[in-house]
Structure 1
Amino acid sequence: MSGTPAEIPTRREYVKGSGALVGGGLLAGCTSDGSNASAGEFKNGTTADADSYSVTMAPMGTVEFEDVPKSVFTIFPQYADMAVALGHGDAVNSVYVPEMSGKTMNTYYDRLEGVSFEWKGLPDPLKNGLNRELFYKLDSDVHLVDPAYISTQNGWSQSDIEDIQNNIGPWFGNFYSGTHDKPPEGYRDGYRYYGLWEMFEKIAEIFQEQERARALTEIHANVLSTIEENLPPKNERPTAVRVTYNDGSFYTYHLNKPGYWLADTRPLDATDAFAEQDWANLWGTVDFETMLDADPDVILHLWGISPGYHLDEIRKKIESQPAGRQLSAIQNNRFYAAGMRYQGPIMNLFQLEMTAKQLYPEQFGEWPGYVTGESYPEIPADERLFDRRKLADVIGGTF
């Protein structure tokens, strides 16, 4: 099967700027009969010395590090965002579709003085399928990737996974916490799901940046408290749906299910317009008539902040259909650009703020809208859910 998760647009679709979504199952049926990889106490094939430290997370178990990684392999941008948040963004040596991931990250970072992600020149690990040669070429100190996910990729055996681990650097990631979907068979024993900020704390241990992570976690906790204290009663909350629109169909996603893919919508607890739908692949596909039957008050369009997704053009396509013109979210101008589900801590803070304003403008202030290709919009200081200066200071290490 393809190594590209269905939630991310394919490279071809991204380059076309079509806003298309990959069809098919998300890793559906892709399992490995191999045993669970164990990072053990090895780095580059040698036993760790007395100055080493260890970090424990499923499915890897306990992983030993000789020192703080200086080169870090990532695929999905949540790990790159974590590295930036911890002051180690320059260690990242790869990321999925760098122009898309990097520009999306910098859309938020533009509002944080001194914070940026240098994505130009980074290779895309999934450009031509996950190639083992790239791992040897980059010679990374750590691979922030779930070995369970790697086991689902074409051409990868358990021995390949172990070779990378033993000869280059350990694996350290947890992909299925994003969805709470079942991991491949060979990894199900002992697999555990973590929240986004739990995973962030684990990555902070790798970089030995626990103090910085605690300061960032405090900012996040304050955002959650502000949200919880100001949410309207349940019967006054709007119905909403998160979608990606393409060629007459809406790929629809839940708002309040488990998993860090929903870390920017679940705390806001809006009424999911499709809450009763149990989609086998974690999302559904609905036509205009079905969407109109549900008629959500708010439509959040995934990837609306990312380059290649022009929300005004997408809206025009929806409005060109009779049923589309009748949608309440279209008529009431509540069709919004949403963020990226592969979000790290910095992205999550901005996306929580953005979504709070889109769902509850009376409580959190009006969302000013997003202009394709520009920075995250400027928000009046008294309507921000977190202090930009404080966040930038923590990321920069001056706190």
Structure 2
Amino acid sequence: MGKKFFDDVTPTRRSYLKSGSAVLAGGLLAGCTGQSGSETETETTEATTAATETDATETTAADSSYSVSMSPVGEVTFESVPENVMVYSLLYADMAVAYGHGDAVNSLGFDSDAGGRTLDAYYDRLDGVSFDREGIAQLNNGSSSISVDKELLYELDSDLHLMDPALAVSFDGWEQSDVEEVGETIAPWFGNVYSRAHSTPPEPYADGYEYYTLWELSEKVGAVFQAEERAAELKSVHDDLVETIQSNLPPKEERPTVGVVIFMSDTFYPSKINVDGFATSHIRPLGVTDAFAADDVTYETSYDYETMLEIDPDVLLHSFGVASYYDVNSIEQTLADHPVGSELSAVKNGRVYPSGNPVQGPIMNLFQLEMTAKQLFPEQFGEWPEYDGGAYPEIPEEEQLFDRQRVADIVAGN
């Protein structure tokens, strides 16, 4: 049996009303003793009718329940679409918006203004699509480690924790017993985040953990919000976009070498492109040569200027470059002012670009695919315009690689 969205035992606001109907019927029947026959028959009939109507309502509610499965949580059963949802990672906030339930999100893992600005940057180009982050709680209050106060989850009293429980067990001070307690006494967990890079989740979730593509995750979350048709339509837009890009790519030998980095304090932190996981699903379909393919790159890998010049990618893509923590224009200027950084081919040729957020949901992925195609192949897909760090740039309609109005209509449920 899957977990229930409502708790059948604990008398919370998510409990069934079965006990109420039994008390109602029992009380009415018990009160008939000593009354006249006609009164007894009348009240008995009323009680029986009330009980029957209540049972019918319960049957209808039971029939309307639905279940969705995802590793590592297994099958979760919902009695209705969740209306108050805890979200940690930005991709799930983007999914909630995509499926018409952005207003259900009550929290984000980090600064909601920072994450919200990233979503705004894309949503500004979609009529009627927005994310209201007023009152959104920030879950993480740590700095060097992730610290989430379990009591905050009780205060939020969510209908669903749209987050990977394997991530929760990695929080500072959390044990599996805490994860189980929250899932049983507040609301179930539903999420999978280690598919981002196919990394190994912490125990006790490592055995049997399954990995999904971004669009497989989107399909499952769409089912949670009973928005399967919207999920399928967005997937269709994505598939059309990828086909458009891949059918117009130049021969492989004419494609640039690309390095994906984060730059901080005169240090480059590289990421690989052609690896499993949804983190690079906005770059991998473009079939470019990964400048770091020959290196053993991990999250701890770092390069100085001299090492980067030895590798010397044709293009540098800076992750988290859209309406986020990094001002890529300033970073490019810093590189240009450095005696070694200025020798990088990407700097000399003006090919240092803001790149997408690896923790991307379906709407973000569409824009980030288009953005990357333009940055890497301007002759095929049109020039990437100057970007000031705010909203996603205005792209002339004839140079857009996917239909904005179609996406806006899908989000609106039209």
Aligned-partner residue type, residue 193 of structure 1? Y
* Matching of residues 298-337 of structure 1 within 5 Å: 298-337=315-354
Query: What stretches of structure 2 of length at least 5 have no aligned partner?
Result: 10-15, 17-61
CA contact (8 A) 1:44 1:168 kept: no
1:229-254 Cα distance to aligned partner (Å, 9 max, x none): 01111111100111111111001111
1:25-81 Cα distance to aligned partner (Å, 9 max, x none): xxxxxxxxxxxxxx9333353278443110001001111111100011101110000
CA contact (8 A) 2:2 2:67 kept: no
CA contact (8 A) 1:43 1:166 kept: no
1:95-131 Cα distance to aligned partner (Å, 9 max, x none): 1210110011000100000001111321111124111
CA distance in 2: counterparts of 1:377 and 1:41, whole angstroms: 44
CA distance in 2: counterparts of 1:304 and 1:379, whole angstroms: 18
1:198-250 Cα distance to aligned partner (Å, 9 max, x none): 00000001000001111111000100111110111111110011111111100
SS for the counterpart of 2:247 is helix
SS for the counterpart of 1:317 is helix
Cα drift, residue 319 of structure 1: 1.9
* Matching of residues 255-274 of structure 1 within 5 Å: 255-274=273-292
1:334-369 Cα distance to aligned partner (Å, 9 max, x none): 001112111100000000000010011111111012
Alpha-carbon RMSD across the aligned residues, in angstroms, is 1.4
SS for the counterpart of 2:329 is helix
1:270-325 Cα distance to aligned partner (Å, 9 max, x none): 111011112243x6211101111111110011122124422222122212221100
CA distance in 2: counterparts of 1:133 and 1:153, whole angstroms: 14
* Matching of residues 18-57 of structure 1 within 5 Å: 40-46=2-8, 49-57=62-70
TM-score by length of 1: 0.87
CA contact (8 A) 1:98 1:123 kept: yes
* Matching of residues 330-345 of structure 1 within 5 Å: 330-345=347-362
CA distance in 1: counterparts of 2:68 and 2:75, whole angstroms: 6
CA distance in 2: counterparts of 1:305 and 1:220, whole angstroms: 20
TM-score by length of 2: 0.84
SS for the counterpart of 1:318 is helix
Out of 407, 410, 413, the position equivalent to 1:391 is 407
Aligned-partner residue type, residue 316 of structure 1? Q
Q: 1:326 to 1:352 in 2, by over 3 A?
A: same
Identity %: 49
Out of 128, 148, 154, the position equivalent to 1:114 is 128
Larger CA Rg, structure 1 vs 2: 2
Out of 58, 76, 100, the position equivalent to 1:63 is 76
Out of 396, 399, 407, the position equivalent to 1:380 is 396
Aligned-partner residue type, residue 238 of structure 1? P
Q: Which has the higher contact order (CA 8 A, sep 6+)?
A: 1
Query: 1:361 and 2:375 equivalent?
Result: no
Cα drift, residue 175 of structure 1: 1.2
Please name the residue that 1:101 is paired with: 115
Aligned-partner residue type, residue 185 of structure 1? E
Query: What stretches of structure 1 of length at least 5 have no aligned partner?
Result: 1-38
Query: 1:182 and 2:200 equivalent?
Result: yes
CA contact (8 A) 1:44 1:166 kept: no
Please name the residue that 1:13 is paired with: none
How many residues are treated as equivalent by the alignment?
358
1:115-165 Cα distance to aligned partner (Å, 9 max, x none): 011113211111241110111011111111111111111111111111111
CA contact (8 A) 1:63 1:170 kept: yes
Misfit runs of 4+, over 3 Å? 47-50
